[in-house]
Chain A
Amino acid sequence: GAGVSQSPSNKVTEKGKDVELRCDPISGHTALYWYRQSLGQGLEFLIYFQGNSAPDKSGLPSDRFSAERTGGSVSTLTIQRTQQEDSAVYLCASSERQGLADTQYFGPGTRLTVL
């Protein structure tokens, strides 16, 4: 079956613009995670959706970052007023069941470059 997909694969934007990154999890997976990976900060957890519960936003770096998950499926990560330090690869993962013990399946990532 299809894995986790992310779009766009690459995004170049100007400082101050808003961007939307999309994640399509594996069908039927109840948990969805966003991470980012940058040269300066390494791998960072951003936000976690578990079923219909309120998302765990503890990893979001600032209030310019927000995420939604509509209908328990597709998720969108929005970055407002982008800054150069937002440049990174943004990774999405999903897992079948709720709970941390379940295997996460990762998408290929979106490479964001802020000029």
Chain B
Amino acid sequence: GIQVEQSPPDLILQEGANSTLRCNFSDSVNNLQWFHQNPWGQLINLFYIPSGTKQNGRLSATTVATERYSLLYISSSQTTDSGVYFCAVGGAKTSYDKVIFGPGTSLSVIP
């Protein structure tokens, strides 16, 4: 099955700094999503981005499907950005078939 890697595994940022999180996957995918889990366990769906670039406020994501990676950019980080960021990929466009999550990047933003 598809292998998903995320880097870095852990990241500590000073408030206001920018960061880039990476998701690599081992095979062609038609579904890629980024999620954020806050320190209290609440999960939020950030982006559905099987290809191209999307932006939502201070967050943006780019997926280069042909090169099998996706990047999540966080600009002007805030303490509320702390938590774990997961990417999830799947092979089928029209179903949730075989959705695989990466191990996550744990982000700590310190004031």
**A100–B45 touching, CB < 8 Å:** no
Whether, in the assembled complex, B95 has its beta carbon less than 8 Å from a beta carbon of chain A, the answer is yes
Choose one: A45, A89, A104; the contact of B101 (CB below 8 Å).
A45
Which of B11-19, B36-44, B60-68, B73-81 lies at the binding interface? B36-44
A79 within 8 A of B: no
Interface class of chain A by DSSP? strand
In the complex, are the beta carbons of A48 and B42 less than 8 A apart?
A: no
On whether A100 and B31 interact (CB within 8 A), knowing A93-B43, A106-B44, A108-B42, the answer reads yes
CB contact under 8 A between A103 and B41, given known A42-B103, A42-B104, A59-B99: no
Residues of B within 8 A of A108 (CB): 41-42
Q: Is B23 an interface residue (CB 8 A)?
A: no
Q: Residues of A within 8 Å of B, CB-based: how many?
A: 21
Q: Secondary structure of the B side of the interface? A: strand
> Which partner residue on chain B sits nearest A43 by CB separation?
B101
Rounded to whole Å, the gap between the CB of A21 and the closest CB of chain B is 16
Within 8 A of A (CB), among B19-68: 31, 33, 35, 41-45, 48
B-contacting residues, A72-101, CB 8 Å:
89, 91, 93, 100-101
Question: Residue on B with the closest CB to A111?
Answer: B41
Q: Please, how many angstroms separate the alpha-carbon atoms of A108 and B95 in the complex?
A: 24
Q: A residues engaging B (CB < 8 A)?
A: 33, 42-45, 48, 56, 58-59, 89, 91, 93, 100-106, 108-109
Enumerate the 7 nearest inter-chain pairs by beta-carbon distance, A residue then B residue, closest first. Answer: A48-B96, A43-B101, A45-B99, A106-B43, A104-B45, A101-B48, A58-B97
List B residues at the A interface (Cβ < 8 Å).
31, 33, 35, 41-45, 48, 86, 88, 90, 93, 95-101, 103-104
| Other A-B pairs beyond A56-B96, A109-B41, 15, CB < 8 Å | A33-B96, A42-B103, A43-B35, A45-B96, A48-B96, A58-B96, A93-B43, A93-B45, A100-B90, A100-B96, A102-B48, A103-B45, A106-B44, A106-B45, A108-B41
